Structure 1
């Protein structure tokens, strides 16, 4: 059902809109055309998909990125909207009494957002991981994909190699998929030197000051041959 014009978000500043817009823009660098917005009270959380399986035989891990923003007026809704439409609404935010109102665009039905979101509570802290370690994972993963994927390869072949690379476990004891490193790079979360790791089965989470990355892992063994 389309969102009505009465559905809106009231932000405390243009900076908070700009921060959220940058996060959403960066998610568009991967195969992501929609954003899920969950508003509750004085907080709105934007969810984006960096990686997700397509079909029963696709072993690509589900990797999500999220970033929150403070609201000046309480709101409550859970909608999925096109990135391009939302960005246009951000650009046309209406200032009133030192707050900034953004009317939501029409919702876009999508099978990719039928998945339940990770829980908000019950997370167990496991440790930390260095941003430099994740950056190495991204570089090596890109090299493998570039080396193995034939030029002009069909989409299903490209997806197969990407699934292998980004589904590989980079930390055996934690079950952390390489896709979290791709998400951190894509979404610009490498501002912190270290990221906190926590788990709430079947999800594992990386937290930074810029947002969070959450992954539901499907184990894949990478064949280097």
Structure 2
């Protein structure tokens, strides 16, 4: 699902929410509605100051509290309204949700290893990664299509949802999505529009994107 018609130069910034207590505990959150910690709010404020300098044209976010609070930091600096959408929530992971990483390995070891190998797995009886992309990627594309030429959309979401959405927008097969790696709290990835669709320009970044200068730009 490569989006965009070449030449418009639009940009999508996919921004993960700030730190939560469950992040610190390495506890699987999924769709559980966990708030930011004080440190997470500080992360959001710092990142918002950087992202505001990109002069985004639009912003959408997951409706879970950790994403809402993160988005509000950028909204307060830019004056942008935020479109909240449940389709941007994190992966629903059923019985995995609320468990620590160690508990998941102990109780669902084979399932975990199958997932890491890139096999389609309903973690804890929840969603497949392709189903997450099925719900999230069209929302992102729909809002990106509304951007002016050279415009920027900020998407405030969750690590798993962002990774699967990037994989879908780049046209990668699902078993390769794990190769993208995760995002740290309040870091972001940037997709830029090229002649053949979307290109990954930055991944797990915490500083302002720099242009690619060289023979492969």
Bigger share in helix:
2
Bigger share in strand:
1
Instruction: Give the TM-score of the pair, scaled to structure 2.
Output: 0.25
Instruction: Give the TM-score of the pair, scaled to structure 1.
Output: 0.24
Q: Which has the larger radius of gyration?
A: 1
